Structure 1
């Protein structure tokens, strides 16, 4: 039992810090030692992903937590009994579940976290968190955030698009998106939710993305990288995000580095809410340019001066024809 508890404590630390290679190796060895260890790991990982509050485990005195939980339960001489099916499940998970239950009970008894909701309609808005992190919300977006920041900084992205500028801190900042999560210490990145699909691009620093799908390993992203993730199929596509301009909706800036014309047009369409059709011979020349708070007409003038093209605009529809 002592060995099992040691492994449990290692597991808690690993789930709190999956980037630690020493912990990861120890946990992998423990999982591979027996089918029972693998089953216990999968159960605990699922509970962990479903409730971020469980990460308080590594800060609790688990033995004292179990004692307090036992004192709060009905005495043995009462007629209270667990349903047989639930009792069998608890017996199979005897190593891990009592510790989880005790810690969860103590946490919610003594330190419940209160969350607020921030939602936008037809306008961009922002909020500054207690730790001085800043979150910008695009139109029709929604998230939940703690009223008071504890040692662990966790917010829940529920809808839309948001840009995060995270204040550096020794405690990780976590963004939960359904079963997926992003962990950072101090960086800036953009999240876009399109239905159930998740798009993430990193502007500065580094983040860790965990999909929560079938024990898929984490993905590390640095500045200039991005991912598209579909939680329904479990497919994850990593891409070069240098020309993504994912945060243009808040910065009103388009930066292109060796970008093909077709890619430039997609970003112009998104920022200026227009429709662009490319016709004729498409130039292969790459664009290197920065547009900051420019009018659409100014951007089109630059494109026409750079490429052998003609540009015709009818309200929100633009036709670009290669010569």
Structure 2
């Protein structure tokens, strides 16, 4: 060893002398070394699985959210989809009217802010329609009764001409030809059907048939306003729907005024002028609104 040391360069010989004085453990614990090595191997195996799980959820969670959102939309839209598939709905906007014929030949005209709905297989087994607002019916005779349902009552006929006006909690049925059976809906009470014959009308106020006040009643199908002790506010509502305008009464006292007469409803200015004469009041136009005072 001394011969080997003497052959070393001076710098390596100094390192040799320094390391010769170091002390090492007499025995190495191989069991402890193997245990440490196994722990390191276990950690290396676990780490990729965690990384895989982290990379899985970011792709899984958006798909789950999309599926859940689609399910919620489908559940909420199912009634609308069903209604579109199995029913026909016709609506008349404010300031307009709609007229049409059903498959059985029945002619119907609905007034402004009104709608009618019926099944697509209408007249195959039954003839039932649902009305919101006001509509005039010329019903052709058929094998099954023609039934009009409203939230305030129902009307059953075989063949006739009649008008139904059902708005808010009020309903009026006018029969121009034939006869109808009217069954009102009265809250918490069973009601019997009432027969209304030609030339008569019935409303929810009296539930007793009365003679119509004018041969062209109801006037809206003849482009007229036929008023029989009609509240001024109700008249203004009819004008608003027909001409798509806004009308306001300047004081609550004007609500007590009742109007009787016939107004040609060809143009708005003529209607308002005649109404001012019948009510003995004036009106002005201000901020897109006609104001009676």
In the superposition, the TM-score normalised over structure 1's length comes to 0.46
Larger relative contact order, structure 1 or 2 (CA cutoff 8 Å, min sep 6):
2
* Rg comparison, structure with higher value: 2
TM superposition score normalised by structure 2? 0.50
